[in-house]
């Protein structure tokens, strides 16, 4: 991965930060895109102690102008783009219709639905559309999309999130067909239950229930997903294309 240029969206924390660190440790030049400027700048600074390894830019992946400008900055800085990791994602969980004591008490709101689609699906579309144009010119590149185990099997209370993660798989399949002829590989990763900061707000019994559904008996770590991204981006996976790699400890999901 030495000298290759990598973009990681949602790269300031969690799986994104672990992915940034993994690629940087292997010699890549990494563009960190995130809305969290404080964390993004801090991460870039921590990686640049021995040279210009990482660069942060505050990017709203739901806005084409923000994405397009960020792509131009990467090209101005490093001249090419070898890997795009579409990692940025949010959750706004709620039941479609919540019933208590036989009465409808709540529904998933339009704003919750639209917000998740904007980041998790449209964001992947906008970033890929912008970056793929450069990769076509280069006749090479790797695009990696963040799906989820729930995008394969569904999950209670996540109509919006599951919808986007299922859609990402579909877009991955389409782009594999469309972009392969230009030397661009496109794959998706479907993480299971990963120990990120989101878990801090979850009740302990929910966390333990997640572990109980995982045959390996533990939560995944952000580094587990970062390692999967790295392998898929590397020449070791040069014939892997249009695939969905589950990294989930064998998790079994349900209601």
The reported pLDDT for the residue numbered 201 is 65
- Using the predicted structure, report yes or no on whether residue 63 has a pLDDT greater than 60: yes
**Confidence band (pLDDT; 50, 70, 90) for 203?**
confident
Residue range 121-142: mean pLDDT, rounded: 98
- Using the predicted structure, report yes or no on whether residue 255 has a pLDDT greater than 60: no
The tens digit of pLDDT for each residue in 4-56 reads 999 999 999 999 999 999 999 999 999 999 999 999 999 999 999 756 899 99
- Whether 195 and 222 have beta carbons less than 8 Å apart is answered as yes
Token pair listed for 144:
């990696």
- 229 catalytic residue (yes or no): no
The reported pLDDT for the residue numbered 10 is 98
28 half-sphere exposure, CB direction, 13 A CA radius? 26
Residue range 229-244: mean pLDDT, rounded: 98
Task: Name the active-site residue from 113, 161, 229, 230.
Answer: 161
The reported pLDDT for the residue numbered 51 is 67
The reported pLDDT for the residue numbered 241 is 98
The reported pLDDT for the residue numbered 200 is 66
The Cα–Cα gap between 154 and 148 comes to 9
- Using the predicted structure, report yes or no on whether residue 125 has a pLDDT greater than 70: yes
The tens digit of pLDDT for each residue in 87-122 reads 999 999 999 999 999 999 999 999 999 999 999 999
What DSSP state is assigned to residue 235? G
- Specify the CATH number of the domain 5-247: 3.40.50.720
The reported pLDDT for the residue numbered 50 is 59
- Using the predicted structure, report yes or no on whether residue 202 has a pLDDT greater than 80: no
57 half-sphere exposure, CB direction, 13 A CA radius? 18
The Cα–Cα gap between 246 and 188 comes to 9
Residue range 215-219: mean pLDDT, rounded: 91
Token pair listed for 35:
């809305």
The Cα–Cα gap between 187 and 180 comes to 11
Q: In what order do the strands lie in the sheet with 54-58?
A: 54-58, 29-34, 5-9, 83-86, 141-146, 184-191, 244-247
Token pair listed for 30:
């990494």
Sequential DSSP letters for 61-121: TT-HHHHHHHHHHHHHHHS---EEEE-------B-SEEEETTEEEEE--HHHHHHHHIIII
The tens digit of pLDDT for each residue in 163-201 reads 999 999 999 999 999 999 999 999 999 999 999 887 666
The reported pLDDT for the residue numbered 252 is 75
pTM assigned to the model? 0.95
């Amino acid at each position: 991965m030495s000298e290759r240029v990598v973009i990681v969206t949602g790269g300031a924390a969690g799986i994104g930060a672990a992915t940034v660190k993994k690629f940087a440790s292997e010699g890549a030049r990494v563009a960190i895109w995130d809305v969290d400027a404080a964390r993004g700048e801090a991460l870039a600074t921590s990686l640049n102690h021995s040279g210009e390894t990482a660069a942060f830019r505050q990017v709203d992946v739901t806005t084409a102008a923000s994405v397009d400008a960020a792509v131009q900055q990467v090209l101005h800085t490093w001249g090419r783009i070898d890997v795009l990791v579409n990692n940025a994602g949010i959750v706004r969980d709620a039941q479609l219709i919540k019933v208590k004591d036989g009465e409808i008490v709540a529904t998933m709101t339009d704003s919750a639905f639209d917000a998740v689609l904007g980041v998790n699906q449209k964001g992947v579309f906008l970033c890929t559309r912008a970056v793929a144009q450069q990769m076509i010119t280069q006749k090479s590149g790797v695009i990696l999309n963040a799906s989820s185990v729930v995008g394969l099997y569904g999950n209670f209370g996540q109509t919006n999130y599951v919808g986007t993660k299922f859609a990402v798989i579909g877009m991955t399949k389409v782009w594999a067909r469309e972009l392969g002829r230009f030397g661009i590989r496109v794959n998706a990763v479907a993480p299971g239950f990963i120990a990120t900061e989101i878990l801090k707000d979850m009740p302990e019994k929910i966390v333990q229930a997640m572990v109980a559904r995982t045959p390996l008996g533990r939560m995944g770590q952000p580094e587990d997903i970062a390692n999967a991204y790295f392998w898929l981006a590397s020449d070791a996976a040069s014939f892997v294309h249009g695939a969905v790699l589950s990294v989930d400890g064998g998790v079994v999901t349900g209601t």
